């Protein structure tokens, strides 16, 4: 039971981190392609 909860927490943390990294990478690509900040 505890290991299952720990696994769920770890998956949530990794998912959130991956989302942040993907958003920043997309923003960098957008800035290089269009030479402006990405839309909100």
Q: pLDDT digit string (tens) for 1-40?
A: 999 999 999 999 999 999 999 999 999 999 999 999 999 8
Length of the chain: 40
- Chain position carrying tokens 């839309």: 39
pTM of the model: 0.73
Query: Quick one: tokens of 37?
Result: 């900040």
From the CB of residue 27, how many other CB atoms can be counted at a distance below 10 Å?
12
């Amino acid at each position: 039971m505890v290991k299952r909860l720990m696994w769920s927490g770890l998956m949530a943390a990794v998912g959130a981190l991956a989302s942040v990294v993907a958003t920043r990478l997309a923003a960098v690509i957008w800035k290089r392609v269009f030479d402006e900040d990405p839309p909100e």
